Structure 1
């Protein structure tokens, strides 16, 4: 049985202009310990699918199950990392992580909670910054705190909503390594679902990549398998034939929309400004 399963899911919203269907006919099976990325153009329902797994959005039709149980709302079995970090500005690095651990692991002693927090602060290399406030650390460090916090509550499923989108290329590459280190140290038991616009990021991190059609009423267009060996080194895999095939295939799928838009532009009547 799949660990996370989405069955015949449709998500629609009522709007002043009528019923808006964000996604429809979504069927996806995700295995335990798998990393799956969802990619597509803006408005294709990537985050909507992730929010349904997180229990923040209820399907209009179909269902999402985790270990065979229907998702009916948020829970500590799912950790979420957003692009905007979502750190409490008045709490230190240590306190931001501790607050999450304290709330999620209610049956754990305070001493054990402190040990868990210290463990994950060390793992993401922030021991010397543990007493700093979010405004005193860089964007990359903030994202390390957010990821450490998510892993520290020990969720079965980790949901990443464009977590590295606002980072520069070097910091983003470093964060990819940090994420995989944490995943490996946890014996790859965490199931990770990530929303991203970055093809290279999706290939480097993922076991499978879900490509969406354009919205509204977006559907899964194709699912690409990534058979690159782990552990992965970016310098090595970019020269592998498999990497180039997957990258070209994803570019082709995503560029279709751009080509269609460009064709429509050139077909449009020209307007002279006088």
Structure 2
């Protein structure tokens, strides 16, 4: 059946001159390369990417701290040409034959440019020797599998052998479900290694970055002699919604943010990224001179 057969249809005619003008406008319109600008998750402002990089990935408008890769953080925090990496080629197996796990690890290696969710090694922070572990949220959200636990444990043992302090930068979504119980075992293994480090009287500093959650928070992240955090970092065990559903109560504003944890005694100090290297230098200097 015809629908409104007597309806008049308006046709718009466009002159050849107008078409040529449109084509000329498109040709002269500037082309902006991808990645030149980035939107801040904190204030919503559009930031020139070069300015963000020059400010160590900290928003110049609201001080929001963007996440860094492990390589970026090492380059930022460790003196140039002093970093010596440990266990670089160690990679994950598939201990419980989880479907698709090998392929996911392969993609992560290609995308993140590292073999696992943590990079470990030794270097200097303003001429102070240190062993360092840096977790990377860009590799499976920094989840802690057997290789992550093994690399951190070996780094702690190396710190004991070399009689050096150790700094661990945490960034993790928690235990890696694709490895089941093998992942959960790493909580006890790393914590036991830190216990040995403590018996030797060596310094252990943790720097909590966004996000630090799950089994990492429940183990070695909170065992530092000194616990620092970057501003605004998400720090906790279970997610906010899970806790609210369990206790049937509304949680306070800013719950699980670094500032909330500082107020309640879980964190010793919140340090902005641009002051972090000098702050670590001071701590290491005081510790080394007091031995």
Q: TM-score, normalised by structure 1?
A: 0.32
Structure ID, larger Rg: 2
Of structures 1 and 2, the one scoring higher in RCO (CA 8 A, sep 6+) is 1
